[in-house]
Amino acid sequence: MGLFDHSLSDLHELLQKKELTSLDLVEESYKRIGEVEEKVQAFLTLDEENARQKAKELDAKGPGTILSGMPIGIKDNIVTKGLKTTCASKILENFDPIYNATVMDKLSHAGAITIGKLNMDEFAMGSSNENSHYQVTRNPWDLERVPGGSSGGSAASVAAGEVLFSLGSDTGGSIRQPASYCGVVGMKPTYGRVSRFGLVAFASSLDQIGPITRNVKDNAHLLGAICGLDPMDSTSANVEVPDFTAGLTGDVKGMRIGVPKEYMGEGIGEGVKNSIKAALEVFEKQGAIIEEVSLPHSKYALAAYYLLSSSEASANLARFDGIRYGYRTENAADLIDLYKKTRAEGFGDEVKRRIMLGTFALSSGYYDAYYKKAQKVRTLIKKDFDDVFEKYDLIVGPTAPTPAFKIGEIIDDPLTMYANDILTIPVNLAGVPALSVPCGFENGLPLGLQIIGRHFNENAIYRAAYAFEQATDYHKHRPAL
């Protein structure tokens, strides 16, 4: 049993008893990276010197918070002072930030130790981690398969035991889908729950930072450490941060759970449907009330999402022009040529595709027909969730329609690739929280159960996920790397 097979609470107890040191945990992390990183390729940058130095300082200081001394991996679109942040793009290949994202300051205050920066789809655009400029991260359960995306490095590093937990970002399912593919726990918090200051923007009205862990309780601890009001982020919500671990009783008796018929219909694999039905039976045995519900506008979510997110991306990525920071072309004739060549050479194909789609949707004559209509559809999707949550505590369904697919299998088919997010995208459009928890296997590959809650009611999600986890052992399985 490796150190990272223990829960956060167990490791914290060992640290307090001085049976373990923070340095031991950091060394365990780098030892494991040395053993498996060549196969998994989850990390883009390691921060060994600083990590060891911080561990020694924490050991000298003595016991701290529950996160103190714990090794964490950070997705490479979260800004880290003095540690390269590339967004897995050529255009930021040498970007060395001079400030920290708010979540990094919070983690530092809690005593967590950054092990390194994790691979992702370039600028978080993708569902497979194949869009990184640098390398393709592989799924620890099957090295020929994708880990999911865009937070594929974040999920794979936790599944492979390289770090205890990680941070990812979720714009349309980018935490939950890789968590499902890699058999770990991933939470997309309510929009506004976690500060976006220092998260390199893809689509500002959809992006959220969230935790990826091996079990539900660790996830609740990590979320508690990173959320709260931030004056640096105008979309940060002024709501109380509860103790997310307080409701982890294992009891869901009387909870009303809605299962959307749209989430169990056409396009969802039989193995996935069967594992979700088995999961619902677990909840029923525990005393939860399960009923079928409808989210009728879900079928429009994919189209609305790609119009809105691409429109926001085209505006957000306009700042990468080769003038202030990042990559700059060496053979420009004039200023306009500098812009064109820098962006042509610096961005990958998927990023260019979305910038072009977004610029088109926002252009004169098309704005009303596409962007404005997509915003109206978004409102209808949010209303669908509001209507269901008037009667139900939670909505439950699959996280992804299938288990992880093979690397290279659909990279040249953008529409099929986009459809992989069909079950996660409505959650981002509505701004509600959702979590993926392991719920089964198909041909040895993990499957995820998605639990969706009301705005700012992450507690109810954790309560149900913990009860399910206690009644099953899917989270205890490890890939044979």
CA–CA separation, 230 and 296 (whole Å): 35
| 22 noted as active-site residue | no
| 75 noted as active-site residue | yes
Largest CA distance in the chain: 71
* Residue matched to tokens 């103790």: 243
Pairing of strands 165-170, 394-398: unpaired
Residue 137 and residue 41 in contact, taking contact as beta carbons nearer than 8 Å? yes
In the numeric block, which tokens belong to residue 141?
């359960």
Residue 262 and residue 295 in contact, taking contact as beta carbons nearer than 8 Å? yes
Cα angle, residue 441 at apex, residues 439 and 444 outer, rounded to 5°? 150
Cβ-Cβ contacts under 8 Å for 146 (sequence gap 6 or more)? 128, 129, 130, 136, 137, 138, 139, 152, 181, 404, 405, 406, 407
Please provide residue 64's backbone torsions phi and psi, each rounded to the nearest 5 degrees.
-125, -145
Spatial CA neighbour of 170 closest among 145, 191, 184, 139 = 191
* Residue matched to tokens 């039905």: 277
Residue 251 and residue 467 in contact, taking contact as beta carbons nearer than 8 Å? yes
* Residue matched to tokens 């924490």: 58
* Residue matched to tokens 């993708």: 126
| 132 noted as active-site residue | no
**Other CB atoms closer than 10 Å to residue 415's CB: what's the count?**
9
Looking at residue 297, the DSSP 8-state letter turns out to be: G
444, exposed or middle or buried, with CB in 10 Å at 0-12, 13-18, 19+?
Answer: exposed
In the numeric block, which tokens belong to residue 144?
């020929």
Q: Looking at 68, 151, 154, 174, which residue is catalytic?
A: 174
**Other CB atoms closer than 10 Å to residue 329's CB: what's the count?**
16
Q: Looking at 22, 132, 150, 180, which residue is catalytic?
A: 150
Q: Looking at 54, 75, 117, 188, which residue is catalytic?
A: 75
Active site residues: 75, 150, 174
